[in-house]
């Protein structure tokens, strides 16, 4: 897939930032990071059917800190590990209002990000978070936001996955 980045405002912004960094410091591999970012936008385009330029432009429109930290596997993971939805509303509909499985206490949390089950784990209330050092949960990508979000596994998906895996 060959993308023409010349009309991309996101690419122009990103390239300008790389060029500034290269003039200041030659110790880092800024061009390698730029190539990684462009490749990841192309991967997302192939997996979602969206335009790679639109994806990069959207990412750059929300990026408000250094690109070397913004663009990482944790924020733009490979999409083979991500469920893709057209809209956030479609993702929410798939949750079916049944809550989310906390990976620590195994209880059902109302929050997709932070355990609110009030179950005890090792003598204290579970307060597990989906973010942080131990990456847990599942990733979703919504085409309307063009970003990946990490959440606890929706309860509604558990039964469906068991059927798909032949466990039912």
Q: What is the pLDDT of residues 62-81, one digit of tens each?
A: 999 999 999 998 888 887 77
Q: What is the pLDDT of residues 9-34, one digit of tens each?
A: 999 999 999 999 999 987 789 999 99
Q: How many CB atoms lie within 10 A of CB 91?
A: 21
DSSP of the chain: -----TT-HHHHHHHHHHHHHHHH-SSS-HHHHHHHHHHHHHHHHHHHS--HHHHHHHHHHH--S-HHHHSSTTTS--GGGEEEESSHHHHHHHHTT--EE-TTT--EESSSSB--S--EETTEE---BSSSSS--SEEEEETTTTEEEEEPEEHHHHHHHHHHTT--
Q: What is the pLDDT of residues 90-137, one digit of tens each?
A: 999 999 989 999 999 999 999 999 999 999 988 999 999 988 666 678
Q: What is the pLDDT of residue 165?
A: 52
Q: How confident is the model at residue 161 (pLDDT cuts 50, 70, 90)?
A: low
Q: How many CB atoms lie within 10 A of CB 80?
A: 7
d(CA 72, CA 160): 31
Q: What is the pLDDT of residue 95?
A: 93
Q: What is the pLDDT of residue 63?
A: 95
Q: Where are the domains of the chain?
A: 1-76, 77-168
């Amino acid at each position: 897939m060959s993308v023409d980045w010349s009309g991309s405002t996101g690419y122009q912004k990103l390239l300008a930032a790389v060029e500034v960094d290269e003039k200041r410091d030659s110790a880092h591999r800024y061009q390698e990071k730029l190539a990684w970012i462009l490749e990841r936008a192309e991967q997302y385009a192939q997996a979602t059917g969206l335009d790679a330029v639109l994806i990069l432009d959207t990412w750059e429109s929300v990026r408000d800190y250094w690109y070397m930290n913004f663009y990482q596997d944790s924020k733009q993971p490979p999409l083979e590990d991500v469920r893709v939805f057209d809209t956030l509303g479609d993702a929410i509909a798939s949750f079916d209002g049944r809550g989310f499985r906390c990976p620590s206490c195994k209880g059902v949390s109302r929050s997709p990000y932070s355990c609110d089950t009030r179950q005890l784990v090792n003598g204290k209330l579970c307060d597990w978070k989906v973010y942080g050092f131990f990456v847990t949960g599942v990733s979703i990508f919504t085409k309307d936001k063009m970003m990946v979000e990490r959440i606890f596994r929706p309860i509604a998906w558990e039964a469906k996955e068991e059927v798909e895996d032949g466990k039912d």
